[in-house]
Amino acid sequence: MNFALTEEQQMIQDMARKFAEREIKPVAAELDRTHEHPAEIVAKMGELGLMGITIPEEYGGAGMDYICYVLSMIEISKACASCGVIMSVCNSLYNFPVYAYGTEEQKQKYLKPVASGEALGCYGLTESSAGSDAAKMRTTAVLDGNEWVINGEKKFITNGNVARYCVLAAVTDKSAGYKGISSFVVDLENTPGFRVGTVEDKMGINASGTAELVFEDARIPKENLLGKAGEGFRQMLTTLDGGRIGIASQALGIGRAALEESIEYSKSREQFGQPIANFQAIQWKIADMATQLDAAELLTLRAAWLEENKLHYEKEAAMAKLLASDVAMWAAVEGVQVLGGYGFCKEYPMERHMRDAKITQIYEGTNEIMRLVIARSILKKR
Ligand SMILES: Cc1cc2nc3c(=O)[nH]c(=O)nc-3n(C[C@H](O)[C@H](O)[C@H](O)COP(=O)(O)OP(=O)(O)OC[C@H]3O[C@@H](n4cnc5c(N)ncnc54)[C@H](O)[C@@H]3O)c2cc1C
């Protein structure tokens, strides 16, 4: 077993770290305050290849491996969790299904612009009454001549208010249950009958837009079906497995930020005539944070390695997301404690880390659902 990073992996980690520290970290608090979409930063991330890391160069991507994806996601999310999720959704939830299930023509037309960073992608699965139980979706797509006519509303869609393209799940055969779900690639800018609905006001990841997508007799070309009709649910499960590696990495970035800022603060803050880092109570928090974060990072890298090597990674991705998100949430709460009253104030980024960490336990499958996925996978083998 070899834990050493390759030259390419070290290079992307280093590049993403430098970029995030120089261009993202200084503006992260302001982005959180204004809720503004970080368009300029995202455009630069595209130029650096971060919006299509694992996609081959012929389709606009950087042609790197899933370890590179994890390492760069951690660095970007450490500076700004909103930028992290914008990147993760494009890479895992949009690029992946278009690359894996799209035709050559679809890849040229719909993958290239997102993988190269020219446009943003989003992923429309959730509905107001279909969250964890996504198969209960009501959005329909009905074939009418050479077009699919789409009706329904998607809820909580990351990048939904800024994305040009969407991988959308809809019911094409109501009588077939989850086998009647299909997915489509939609050019949102050129789809009559589509509009962006409510943009959510959230607790955290404020610079990442979370929007409703509304389709009212929206028409898309017949050839925009992704894969075959009825394969959408299966595609979704595989897509979300990969997405969970992205969210685990986002969580790790938030957790690492909490740890680094706790270390820095505890060395400079003096009480009772000495740095608070001298107190065992603080040292144990830092030791536990570092240990738990390393454990979660190893799980995440294992899942990425499995995905890269085309082995089963459903359970391992769920484990990584479960542990990394719980550790990030806990580390951020501990981080606030290390900073005392200052941790509770917006003068320091720690309270933002705490707000940002929470969502990683919820989206792309809640941690209750992660346990269900893990348990099912273990029990079916016995
Ligand atoms: C900021 C944000 C961004 C998002 N981005 C996207 C996106 O880009 N695309 C997209 O399609 N969706 C997106 N989502 C939706 C997200 O994936 C869902 O919110 C999530 O899957 C949970 O669904 P729900 O909110 O309907 O909760 P529910 O499914 O209603 O769950 C409520 C509670 O019940 C628990 N629960 C439900 N079923 C079970 C069960 N069987 N066993 C045990 N406990 C259970 C849950 O764990 C949770 O604690 C986003 C959500 C948010 C908040």
User: What distance in Å separates the CA atoms of residue 45 and residue 35, rounded to the nearest whole number?
Assistant: 19
Are both 244 and 376 inside the same structural domain? Answer: yes
- Output the CA 222–ligand 1 centroid distance in Å: 30
Residue 125 Cβ inside 6 Å of ligand 1? The answer reads yes
User: Any idea what the CATH number is for the domain that residue 166 is in?
Assistant: 2.40.110.10
Of 232, 252, 270, which one is at a domain's C-terminal end?
Answer: 232
58 lines ligand 1 (CB under 6 A): no
Q: What CATH number does the domain containing 353 carry?
A: 1.20.140.10
Four-residue CA torsion sign, 337, 355, 307, 137: positive
Would you tell me how many other CB atoms lie within 10 Å of the CB of residue 30? Answer: 11
Is 364 an active-site residue?
yes
Token pair belonging to 93: 């939830």
What pLDDT score was predicted for residue 381?
65
Give how many domains the chain has, as a whole number.
3
Cα 103 to ligand 1 centroid, rounded to whole Å = 30
**Within this chain, do residues 208 and 339 fall inside the same structural domain, yes or no?**
no
Domain boundary among 177, 197, 232: 232
Pocket probe for ligand 1: among 86, 133, 156, 241, the residue whose CB has the most ligand atoms within 8 Å is: 156
Is 323 part of a structural domain of the chain? yes
Residue 131 C-alpha to ligand 1 middle, in angstroms?
A: 5
DSSP 364: S
Residue 21 and residue 141 share a domain: no
User: Same domain for 99 and 13?
Assistant: yes
| Domain match, 310 and 254 both | yes
Check 23, 212, 261, 364 and give the catalytic one: 364
Tokens of 94: 């949009």
Ligand 1 test: best mutation among 366, 368, 369, most atoms within 8 Å of CB? 366
In terms of domains, do 104 and 14 share one?
yes
Domain annotation covers residue 271: yes
One domain, residues 133 and 97 = no
Two tokens at 312? 């089963």
- Token pair in block for residue 106: 């679809």
Any idea what the CATH number is for the domain that residue 80 is in? 1.10.540.10
Amino acid identity, residue 101? Y
Does residue 1 lie in a domain region? no
Q: What is the pLDDT of residue 89?
A: 98
Residue 2, in any domain of the structure = no
For ligand 1, whether the C-beta of 359 sits within 6 Å is yes
List the domain range (segments joined by +) for residue 57. Answer: 7-120
Instruction: Please name the residue whose Cα sits nearest to atom 43 of ligand 1.
Output: 368
Rounded Cα distance, 129 and 138, in Å: 9
Residue type at 336 in one-letter notation: V
Phi then psi dihedrals of residue 292, to 5 deg: -65, -40
Q: In this structure, is residue 348 part of a structural domain? A: yes
Same domain, 142 and 249: no
Cα separation, 264 vs 174, in Å, equals 57
Query: Does residue 308 fall inside a structural domain?
Result: yes
End-of-domain residue from the set 232, 254, 269:
232
Do 243 and 370 reside in the same domain of the chain?
A: yes
Same domain, 247 and 191: no
Residues 6+ apart with CB under 8 A from 30: 36
For CA atoms 343, 346, 347, 353, give the dihedral sign: positive
| 160 Cα nearest atom in ligand 1 | 8
Output the pLDDT for position 1.
86
Q: Is the CB of 123 under 6 A from ligand 1?
A: yes
* 183 within ligand 1 shell (Cβ under 6 A): no
Is 86 near ligand 1, meaning CB less than 6 Å away? no
Residue 377, Cβ neighbours under 10 Å: how many?
Answer: 15
**CA 44 to ligand 1 center in whole angstroms:** 31
pLDDT per residue as tens digits for the range 343-376: 999 999 999 999 999 999 999 999 999 999 999 9
Q: Do 114 and 175 reside in the same domain of the chain? A: no
Measure the CA dihedral 272/273/277/283, to 10°. -40
Using a 6 Å cutoff on CB, does residue 364 contact ligand 1? yes
Q: Is 130 part of any domain?
A: yes
Flag whether 92 is in a domain. Answer: yes
**Are 142 and 268 within one domain?**
no
Query: Mean pLDDT of residues grouped by 10 in the chain (382 residues)?
Result: 95 98 98 98 97 98 98 98 98 98 98 98 98 97 98 98 98 96 98 98 98 98 97 97 98 98 98 98 98 98 98 98 98 98 98 98 98 96 58
Which residues are 143's β-sheet partners? 148
Looking at residue 290, its amino acid is: A
